[in-house]
Amino acid sequence: MKMEVVNRYITIKNHVEGAPQDSDFELRSSPLVLSMEPGSDEVIVKNLYVSIDPAQLNRMKSYSSSQDCSTFAVAMTPGEDIDAYGVGKVVVSGNPKFGKGDIVAGFLKWGGFTVVKSGGMLNKLDPMGFPLSYHVGILGFSGLTAYVGFFEICKPKKGEKVFVSAALGSVGNLVGQFAKALGCYVVGSAGSKEKVALLKEKLGFDGAFNYREETDLKSTLQRYFPDGIDIYFDNVGGDMQGAAVSNMNINGRIAVCGVISEYTDREKRAAPSMIDVIYKRLKIQGFLAGDYLNLFGDFLSTTCDYLRAGEIQPLEDISDGVESIPSALINLFEGQNIGKKIIKIAEE
C-alpha cells in the first residue's frame, strides 16, 4: 500500500534581480511516498488551489538574506520549493487533528503536494458553501489583508474619500468594494483602459484612471478628489504615494500594503513631502495581515455576509497547473492580472 507519486513543483534557479523572468524559474519533480513513518506528525496535502502574491518576489531576492531584511523576510534558497497560501486535501496524516480527505487551508507549496510539518500553518477549512478558490483569495489572506488594512489601520467612516492604487489587484479590488459597501467615495488607479472600465462598471467605483496615461499624478488626484483624500490604501509606493500625500486631507491615513514599484526596483522609492505629513497630521502605517489572525473570524463573517448580500463580489484570475505558476507571477508584475491570481493545481 506504499503509494508513490511524482511531485512536480516550482523553484527558483537563482535569486531574482529586478522583475522576475521565465529563466529564473524551474519546474522540478521528485518522488513522494504517500505514507507516514510511524510516529511522524506530518501531513501530506494534495494541493488544489495556490495563491500567487507579489510579496513572494521579495523572498526571491538576494537582499532578503542580507542584514537589511534578515529578520523579517527570510530569503528562499534556490532549488527549494516555495511557500504559498493555498487550499488542499489531506491524503495522509500523522497528525490526529487531520484525517484523510479533510479540506484544509494554510501555507502550502507551489507544487502538486505539500508535506506540512508539525507547527506549519494548516487549518481545516469549512467552505461554507463557497467555491474552494474563494478561500485562497477573497476569503483567504488577500481578503484578510484588505479587511485589516482598511478597517483596522485606516478606521474609515462612511462618506470618507478613499483612494486605492493597483485597484484591480487581489487586495485593492476588495478594499474598494469594502469601502463602497461602507458608503465611501472610492477612486482607484489601474494600468489599462479595460481595467478602468471594470473598476467603474463591474465594481461600482466612483472613479478610476489609468495611471499610465497620466503625466502628473498630483493633478490627476486633485481632479478625482476635489475635496481631498481621507484614506489612501497604498499597493504601489513610488510616485503615487507622493502624489497622494500632496492630496491628503488633515488627519488622513495611509495604509502601506504593498510597494510593487520597490519590489522590482529598490531605488524607485516614495518620497512624500514630510511638511505635508506634519501639517496634515498624516499617519503612514505599514502592516502585515499575519499579525491580525485574531480578526480572522470577524473578517470571515463580515465578508461572507457581504458576499451573500451581493454587496461585494470575488474577482478571480485562475490559471491551470503547476507549470503555469512562473508566468502567473511574471504577469503580475506586468500588470496583466485582473483580481486575485490563483493557480488551480488539481480537481478536488
Q: Interface with a copy of itself includes 295 (CB under 8 A)?
A: no
Q: Interface with a copy of itself includes 294 (CB under 8 A)?
A: no
Binding mask 68-107 for a copy of itself (x = CB under 8 A): xx-xxx----------------------------------
Q: Interface with a copy of itself includes 176 (CB under 8 A)?
A: no
Identity of the residue, 71 or 294, whose beta carbon is nearer to a copy of itself in the bound complex? 71
Cα 155 to Cα 252: distance, rounded to the nearest angstrom: 10
Q: Interface with a copy of itself includes 339 (CB under 8 A)?
A: no
Question: Cβ neighbours of residue 298 under 8 Å, at least 6 residues apart?
Answer: 147
Q: Interface with a copy of itself includes 281 (CB under 8 A)?
A: yes
Query: Are 123 and 22 spatial neighbours (Cβ–Cβ below 8 Å)?
Result: no
Give me the least distance between CB of 264 and a copy of itself, in Å please. 11
Identity of the residue, 62 or 273, whose beta carbon is nearer to a copy of itself in the bound complex? 273
Identity of the residue, 63 or 130, whose beta carbon is nearer to a copy of itself in the bound complex? 63
Copy the grid coordinates of residue 163: 483612494
Q: Which range binds a copy of itself by CB under 8 A, 117-125, 198-206, 277-285, 306-314?
A: 277-285
Identity of the residue, 113 or 225, whose beta carbon is nearer to a copy of itself in the bound complex? 225
DSSP H helices in 156-250: 172-182, 193-201, 217-224, 238-247
The helix, strand and coil proportions of the chain, stated in percent and rounded to the nearest 5, come to 35, 30, 40
Q: Interface with a copy of itself includes 293 (CB under 8 A)?
A: no
Among 46, 135, 161, 280, binds a copy of itself (CB under 8 A): 280
DSSP H helices in 210-293: 217-224, 238-247, 260-264, 274-279
* CA atoms within a 13 Å half-sphere pointing along the CA-CB vector of 61: 21
69, β-bridge pairs: none
Phi, psi of 316 (to 5 degrees): -115, 145
Identity of the residue, 21 or 70, whose beta carbon is nearer to a copy of itself in the bound complex? 70
Query: Are 88 and 114 spatial neighbours (Cβ–Cβ below 8 Å)?
Result: yes
Cα 235 to Cα 250: distance, rounded to the nearest angstrom: 21
Binding residue count for a copy of itself, defined by CB under 8 A: 39
Cα 326 to Cα 27: distance, rounded to the nearest angstrom: 9
Instruction: Count Cβ atoms within 10 A of the Cβ of residue 181 and give its class: 0-12 exposed, 13-18 middle, 19 or more buried.
Output: middle
Binding mask 236-275 for a copy of itself (x = CB under 8 A): -x---x----x---x-----xxxx--xx--x--xxxxxxx
Q: Interface with a copy of itself includes 119 (CB under 8 A)?
A: no
Identity of the residue, 203 or 254, whose beta carbon is nearer to a copy of itself in the bound complex? 254
Identity of the residue, 257 or 328, whose beta carbon is nearer to a copy of itself in the bound complex? 257
Query: Are 163 and 187 spatial neighbours (Cβ–Cβ below 8 Å)?
Result: yes
Q: Interface with a copy of itself includes 5 (CB under 8 A)?
A: no
Among 184, 282, 307, 325, binds a copy of itself (CB under 8 A): 282
Identity of the residue, 280 or 344, whose beta carbon is nearer to a copy of itself in the bound complex? 280
Residues at the interface with a copy of itself (CB under 8 A)? 58, 68-69, 71-73, 234, 237, 241, 246, 250, 256-259, 262-263, 266, 269-288, 291
